[in-house]
Amino acid sequence: MGTDIQLPERYNMATTFIDEPARRRPDRVAIYYGDQALTYRELQELVNRTGNALRGLGVEVEDRVLLIVLDCPEFVAAFFGAIKIGAIPVPINTLMRASDFEYFLRDSRAKVLVVSEPLLPELEKVDRRALRDLKHVVVIGTPRPGDRCFADLVKEASAELEAADTSRDEMAFWLYSSGSTGLPKGVVHLQHDAIWCAELYFKNILGINERDIVFSVAKLFFAYGLGNCLYATLQEGAACVLLPDRPTPEKVFEVIDRYQPTVFYAVPTMYAALLQVKDAERGYRTGSLRLCVSAGEALPPRLYQEWRDRFGTEILDGIGSTEICHIFISNRPGRVRPGASGLLVEGYEARIVEEDGQPVPRGEVGNLWIKGESIAPFYWNKHQKTKQTMLGEWIVTGDKYYQDEDGSYWYAGRADDMLKVGGIWVSPVEVENTLVGHPAVLECAVVGAEDEEQLVKPKAFVVLRQGQTASPALAEELQAFVKDKIAPYKYPRWIEFVPELPKTATGKIQRFRLRQG
């Protein structure tokens, strides 16, 4: 099992994930998408054409290319096409709102935006004239007047492209990650980061090989989905299934039934939803699955057991992060400890420490720090945050953990107020700030509460302005208000009207008292 990778100083990751596989296995299928089956040779050609098309639009080495793209072959082509010419693709959460998109465009200074047609209505709320760095909008689908058509540009571009001469330590791609306060942080990843995840996690732990067909419910714009579909999957000549739609449980089972994947990646909320489908183990063919993976938030043991009983495969819970690029602590096939995140992935180092960096005794809860070769060196435009998080070789995960006698790591909550909802970050502060924008709300506090599946969802405690009356209708109105203003998955699933909020003598809201509540 290799945990050492030697890369030449001049290295472009598109060589590992696109060119080498196309040379070794040109005729194998790389991507299943609807009725299409794209071979490695075809994928390489699409990547090359896209890289040349981006160059034709004036994209140069180190320029950012923002991707607001649904899962589809063009996503993969734009991602690696940009990387291959030395430009920096920046995939964005497609569930975000216009104001978020505007921030990402500004903060990244993207010259070109690639966007899927169904997302244009939200994007059109952005005043593009104010974005001086943005030169072109390329639409996958039918463009609006003045925009460019992805398919046309690609058709006209050459199919030959040499990878740009980049350093293994150069920026390769960014991913945005939300924090409890402040704007999302651009997590900068280098050319050498992804191959470490491919080797240490996907090959050594999951054993991804060319016979695998993988399907990830987590979309490509998440670090989780990106790695699941693209790293070892492409490197090893396996195939991945891409689904552009919102993954409803029925749709997910249909995909499994139709493409017969061997490896399935999802978040706990999705496993819970899939287990709600009656008789799915009889109605759909699921026997192709050899492994299932869960990440994004802790997997409750009950979901693990029920899934194994009904579908006969294990779910490997593992913790990853955008900053570390993928999973660094994981359960092992055949050796799962339900409820635990698992053992350290070989090749990474872990410390559980006090605030001052001193290690805590084994078995006690502390802050989890990780060291490894796939970790982002810094956040774009966020120097203070960078200094607090990236401490030389170590990164502060923001998670509380303890390690048991067997070496397993157990998640024990966050060090900040951030919530994972369906595997995606939600900042309580952002939800609170949105709620107080409603004329009926005087003040409020948002905390995580467990639903019937023991998975965390946002709950709001709301104090109304004088003259306002609490009612189920008003609660619904507030929920709709939040859904309309920020990404819909952030809305409070419960609203409790209270006469006042618990506060400290200095007026700070005591969230911990509401959490107990």
Q: How many CB atoms lie within 10 A of CB 214?
A: 24
Q: Tell me the two tokens of residue 20.
A: 């080498």
Among 397, 403, 408, 479, binds ligand 3UK (CB under 6 A): 397
**Residue reference for tokens 């010419």:** 85
Q: To the nearest whole angstrom, how small is the minimum distance from the Cβ of residue 341 to ligand 3UK? A: 5
* Beta strands 394-403; 213-216: pairing state: unpaired
Largest CA distance in the chain: 72
- Nearer to ligand 3UK by C-beta: 161 or 344? 344
Q: How far is CA 218 from CA 299, 302, 367, 422, in A?
A: 15, 21, 27, 10
Q: Tell me the two tokens of residue 153.
A: 């540009």
- Nearer to ligand 3UK by C-beta: 143 or 296? 296
Among 380, 425, 491, 497, binds ligand 3UK (CB under 6 A): 425
Q: To the nearest whole angstrom, how small is the minimum distance from the Cβ of residue 128 to ligand 3UK? A: 29
What DSSP state is assigned to residue 358? P
Stretch that binds ligand 3UK, among 242-250, 379-387, 395-403, 476-484 (CB under 6 A): 395-403
Count of residues that interact with ligand 3UK, criterion CB under 6 A: 24
Return d(Cα 393, Cα 4) in angstroms, integer.
Answer: 17
Q: To the nearest whole angstrom, how small is the minimum distance from the Cβ of residue 438 to ligand 3UK? A: 28
Among 73, 179, 320, 448, binds ligand 3UK (CB under 6 A): 320
Stretch that binds ligand 3UK, among 74-82, 106-114, 314-322, 448-456 (CB under 6 A): 314-322
327 binds ligand 3UK (CB under 6 A): yes
Return d(Cα 293, Cα 331) in angstroms, integer.
Answer: 9
Among 351, 414, 483, 511, binds ligand 3UK (CB under 6 A): 414
Q: To the nearest whole angstrom, how small is the minimum distance from the Cβ of residue 424 to ligand 3UK? A: 7
Q: To the nearest whole angstrom, how small is the minimum distance from the Cβ of residue 225 to ligand 3UK? A: 8
Among 44, 235, 341, 389, binds ligand 3UK (CB under 6 A): 341
Q: To the nearest whole angstrom, how small is the minimum distance from the Cβ of residue 218 to ligand 3UK? A: 8
Residues numbered 204-243 forming contacts with ligand 3UK, rule: CB under 6 A: 223-224
- Nearer to ligand 3UK by C-beta: 143 or 342? 342
- Enumerate residues 6+ apart whose C-beta is below 8 A from 459: 446, 447, 448, 449, 492, 493, 494, 495, 496
Stretch that binds ligand 3UK, among 40-48, 55-63, 132-140, 315-323 (CB under 6 A): 315-323
Among 207, 244, 377, 398, binds ligand 3UK (CB under 6 A): 398
- Nearer to ligand 3UK by C-beta: 114 or 295? 295
Smallest Cα–Cα separation from 315: which of 296, 331, 326?
Answer: 331
Among 85, 112, 291, 298, binds ligand 3UK (CB under 6 A): 298
Q: To the nearest whole angstrom, how small is the minimum distance from the Cβ of residue 495 to ligand 3UK? A: 25
Give the three-state DSSP class for 481: helix
Q: Tell me the two tokens of residue 470.
A: 């609490």
Chain centroid to Cα 21, Å, comes to 25
Q: To the nearest whole angstrom, how small is the minimum distance from the Cβ of residue 333 to ligand 3UK? A: 16
**HEC profile of 288-344:** CCCEEEECCCCCCHHHHHHHHHHHCCCEEEEEECCCCCCEEEECCCCCCCCCCCEEE
Among 107, 170, 314, 317, binds ligand 3UK (CB under 6 A): 317
Strand order in the sheet with 88-91: 88-91, 64-68, 112-116, 136-140, 148-149
- What is the tally of helices (H) and strands (E) in the chain? 17, 27
Q: To the nearest whole angstrom, how small is the minimum distance from the Cβ of residue 411 to ligand 3UK? A: 4
Q: How far is CA 23 from CA 167, 393, 408, in A?
A: 22, 36, 40
Q: To the nearest whole angstrom, how small is the minimum distance from the Cβ of residue 517 to ligand 3UK? A: 23
Give the three-state DSSP class for 103: helix
- Nearer to ligand 3UK by C-beta: 212 or 317? 317
Residues numbered 98-127 forming contacts with ligand 3UK, rule: CB under 6 A: none
318 binds ligand 3UK (CB under 6 A): yes
Smallest Cα–Cα separation from 30: which of 149, 291, 20?
Answer: 20
Q: To the nearest whole angstrom, how small is the minimum distance from the Cβ of residue 229 to ligand 3UK? A: 12
Smallest Cα–Cα separation from 430: which of 222, 185, 183?
Answer: 183
Return d(Cα 249, Cα 275) in angstroms, integer.
Answer: 9
Q: To the nearest whole angstrom, how small is the minimum distance from the Cβ of residue 110 to ligand 3UK? A: 21
- Nearer to ligand 3UK by C-beta: 120 or 489? 489
Residues numbered 167-196 forming contacts with ligand 3UK, rule: CB under 6 A: 177
- Which residues are paired to 496 by β-bridges? 461
Stretch that binds ligand 3UK, among 26-34, 105-113, 203-211, 294-302 (CB under 6 A): 294-302
Is the Cβ–Cβ distance between 13 and 83 less than 8 Å?
Answer: yes
Q: To the nearest whole angstrom, how small is the minimum distance from the Cβ of residue 144 to ligand 3UK? A: 32
What residue is closest to ligand 3UK based on CB? 320
Phi, psi values for residue 348, rounded to 5°: -105, 160
- Nearer to ligand 3UK by C-beta: 231 or 259? 231
304 binds ligand 3UK (CB under 6 A): no
Which residues would be at the binding site for ligand 3UK (CB under 6 A)? 177, 223-224, 295-298, 317-322, 326-327, 341, 397-399, 411, 414, 420, 423, 425
